[in-house]
Amino acid sequence: MPDFAMLSDAPVDWRGDLLQFRRYVNPLVSVITHPRTQTPLTIGIFGAWGSGKSTLLRMVDERLLDQHGDDFVRVHFNPWVHRREPEMLLPLLNALHDTLNADPGRRFADTVRRLGTIMLNLAADEVLKRVNLGSVSVEKIGRLAQQYAELRGQVDSQTGRLRGLLQQEADRLAATGKTIIFFVDDLDRCEPDQIIDVLESIKLFLDLRNVFVMIALAKDVVDRGVSVKYQPFGFSDHATVADDYLDKMIQLPLHLYPLGPAEVGAFIRDSLPGEMAAMHGETLERIVAPNPRKIKRVLNLLRLTEAVIDNTPGLAGLHTDLVVRLVVLRVQSPELFADVVRQPALLVALELAYQDKLVTDVLQGFQARFGAQADELQRLTQAHHDRHAFLAPLFAGSTFEASAGELPAYLTMIGG
């Protein structure tokens, strides 16, 4: 059997740009590098999970490094990595501090020192707020309280002056020909309150001259975060509130274009799929979700399934078209696939429903075809019918009824 490789979900670079993301990269880099572009400027990259937002951030970062490496201080911040932090301002500042401190020529030593002082006070404040008084002796409580009150005053003063201090540092860097750009990724993997915490920290402290911010966002997740954050205020239209909120945060919103069937097909072909995927490329174009992450998962599972079939005696007679459809079903609707594993005849019921092969009286049609299983299968069919858009093309051309007796073997082989 020939070797086969899996597709990674990691962000790709220029060489792996199968979706022509350079159509976004070139205009964005032009905006960021144009001398007349005004700052502060926050750019929002909007797209569903798995749509390629991280890839786009990486490609913009690479282009800036390759063509404008001496003009930008490129700061990368992943709030999800710091999701256990009580608030996000400190790790956000730490990302800037570490980036400047890593400069081989130590050109930003003064800025690093000033940021370090700010961070030290903020960090000490967080430590004292989390002190377990039960582990502190009674004699020390009074001294600790006084110490905290004194430090609290220092921290409040630092926080109040922080925006001004950061602006001074951004201006100092600009005087040396350097502009700061923050790349914020995986924000929509955080809890709702943390999402708002990051956005508000960016608005309060990074909305500065000579500073760019690029944020990758799944808008529906941010909408939920805004809804949770401001629920106590009694807003009736949370979607409008979320839109207004993001309008104040982001000056340049970029929504990734959805993939069409032709682009899905090209992505599959350019990914060097296995024989099974190549053979049923047109079917995959119709039924795979137009999402790079979903496509990769489907292709990976198909490759592995194909290898399992090749190495298992007695499976050579399986119909590859049905294998392809079941793999897509497993990846794109786990809840339906779980019901199918418990009731394999549900595949036949859905096929008959989507192909309009039941008699006019639906209940009578289920009873005539499935007998004692009719009530359960009718309930499951009603629950899943039209639940996902891809189900109609998946079942429109399927032949599960013709292989009804072999369905348990298909499901077991795929992982049911």
Domain positions in the chain are: 20-255, 261-414
Does pLDDT of 238 surpass 70?
no
Is the sign of the CA dihedral 229, 230, 231, 232 positive or negative?
Answer: positive
**pLDDT of the residue at 246:** 82
**pLDDT of the residue at 137:** 46
User: Which class in CATH covers the domain with range 20-255?
Assistant: alpha beta
Residue 75 — φ and ψ, nearest 5°?
-110, 125
Sheet holding 72-77, edge to edge: 72-77, 179-184, 211-217, 41-46, 252-255
**pLDDT of the residue at 230:** 65
Structural tokens at position 250: 């982001």
Sequence-distant (6+) residues with CB within 8 A of 406 are 318
Q: Which residue has the higher pLDDT, 316 or 173?
A: 173
Mean pLDDT comparison of 102-116, 201-215, 302-316, highest-scoring range:
201-215
Does pLDDT of 134 surpass 50?
no
**pTM (2 decimals)?**
0.75
Give Cα separations from 17 to 4, 12, 23, 218, 266 (angstroms): 21, 7, 11, 21, 12
**pLDDT of the residue at 125:** 55
| Least confidently predicted of 26-40, 124-138, 249-263, 367-381 | 124-138
Tell whether omega for the bond before 192 is within 30 degrees of 0, i.e. cis: no
**pLDDT of the residue at 67:** 93
The confidence band for 205, taking pLDDT boundaries of 50, 70 and 90, is: confident
Supply the DSSP symbol for 109: H
Mean pLDDT of 202-224: 88
**pLDDT of the residue at 219:** 81
Segment 80-123, tens digit of pLDDT: 998 888 778 888 888 999 998 998 888 888 888 888 877 776 67
Say if residue 89 is exposed, middle or buried (CB neighbours under 10 Å; 0-12, 13-18, 19+). Answer: buried
Mean pLDDT comparison of 34-48, 116-130, 290-304, 312-326, highest-scoring range:
34-48
The confidence band for 8, taking pLDDT boundaries of 50, 70 and 90, is: low
Mean pLDDT of 350-362: 81
Give the rounded percent of residues in the chain with a pLDDT score beyond 90: 38
**pLDDT of the residue at 156:** 53
- 180 DSSP β-pair partners: 73, 211
Does pLDDT of 139 surpass 50?
no
**pLDDT of the residue at 127:** 46
Structural tokens at position 79: 């709030």
Q: Which residue has the higher pLDDT, 201 or 237?
A: 201
- CA 288 to CA 329: how far, in whole Å? 9
The confidence band for 379, taking pLDDT boundaries of 50, 70 and 90, is: very high
Residue 374 — φ and ψ, nearest 5°?
-60, -50
Q: Given the structure tokens 């040396």, which residue do they identify?
A: 176
Contacts by 151-158, CB closer than 8 A, 24 or more apart: 151/121, 151/124, 151/125, 152/125, 154/121, 155/121, 155/122, 155/124, 155/125, 158/118, 158/121, 158/122
**pLDDT of the residue at 252:** 94
> What is the pLDDT of the chain when averaged over all its residues?
82
Supply the DSSP symbol for 175: H
**pLDDT of the residue at 227:** 73
- CA 410 to CA 416: how far, in whole Å? 9
Mean pLDDT of 65-92: 89
Does pLDDT of 28 surpass 90?
yes
Is the sign of the CA dihedral 114, 115, 120, 122 positive or negative?
Answer: positive
Segment 249-284, tens digit of pLDDT: 899 999 988 778 888 888 888 877 788 888 999 999
**pLDDT of the residue at 232:** 60
The confidence band for 360, taking pLDDT boundaries of 50, 70 and 90, is: low
**Contact status, residue 208 vs residue 179, Cβ threshold 8 Å:** no
